[in-house]
Each structure stands twice: as C-alpha cells, then as structure tokens.
Amino acid sequence: MTYRVCFVCTGNICRSPMAESVFRARVAEAGLEDRVEVDSAGTGNWHEGEPADQRTVSVLEEHGYDSEHIARQFQPSWFARLDLVVALDAGHLKALRRLAPTEEDARKVHLLRSYDPAAGDDLDVPDPYYGHHGDFEDCLGMVEAASAGMLAAVREHLEGRAA
C-alpha cells in the first residue's frame, strides 16, 4: 500500500515544491520510493500551470535536488487519497483544516516544522517570495531540518501498516 504525502503552501511555486523535492530525495535515500508518493500544491490558483519560482529552482539545483515542477491548487477531494497533508505555515494549516471534508481528514494536516525538534515554537516556514536568494536558502535549511523527523514518522506509520 502506498503512503501519500502532499506539501502545501500559498501558490505552489516556492516552499511546497522545495519541500516536495527535498522529501522525495529523503524517501529515495531511504529506499522507500516504491511505498511513499510525494506531491505538492498551493492553497490558491495564482500560479497554476507555472514552473517553480526560478530562485527555488536555483537553490534546489545548487544543493543537488530535482527541480521539475508544475504548480497546481490543492483540492478538498484529495483528502480521500492522502495520508499526510503538510502545511508550510499556520495560515496554510488553518485553510487546509477548513477545507477538510471530515474531522479525520483535518487530523491529516500537520505543520512541516513540527517534525523538527529544534524548531521550538516558531513552526512557520517564512515565504521567501518577496525576499532574496538568502531567504530561499533559509527556507531550504528549514525544510531539510524537518525532513528527517518527518521521514521517521512516515516510516513508523508504514511499519504500523505492515504489522
């Protein structure tokens, strides 16, 4: 059985495609690519059909990650097929939980940085869109820091399914 993860930010051109690329790489490194499907979307449709922001692409490529991406908007019907919906900030968390058709679906939504024990109380990944290259680098650092804990949680869930 496949475990499905979707990262969600505002327009699906900066943070969520970055998180998707990083987590897909972690899943592959763990040898779980046949068991875990990774995707991303935005809460809005402003950039639907567009590639990731060039600064996101640049930072991903500089760090050896895949940067292929086409933006799309998250749809409430996706909850039925997803196991984990990962919000990049508290605004996305709130919006996604409002979109969730059921309480069970709302419980699938978590903040990315909640998987990083070093994040403390600041669980938002700031939007780098109006910033500079360094803001995209900072975003990547936050995504990478949370990925190990998130992979551990997904692996635990997979092992629970197998039992």
Please give the positions annotated as active site: 9, 15, 127
Phi and psi, residue 38, nearest 5°: -120, 135
Distance between CA atoms of 161 and 159, rounded to whole angstroms?
5
Cβ contact 40:16 at 8 Å: yes
Cβ contacts of 40 within 8 Å, gap of 6 or more = 6, 7, 8, 9, 12, 16, 17, 19, 20, 69
Q: How many CB atoms lie within 10 A of CB 145?
A: 16
Phi and psi, residue 42, nearest 5°: -120, 160
Nearest to 5 by CA among 160, 137, 159, 158: 158
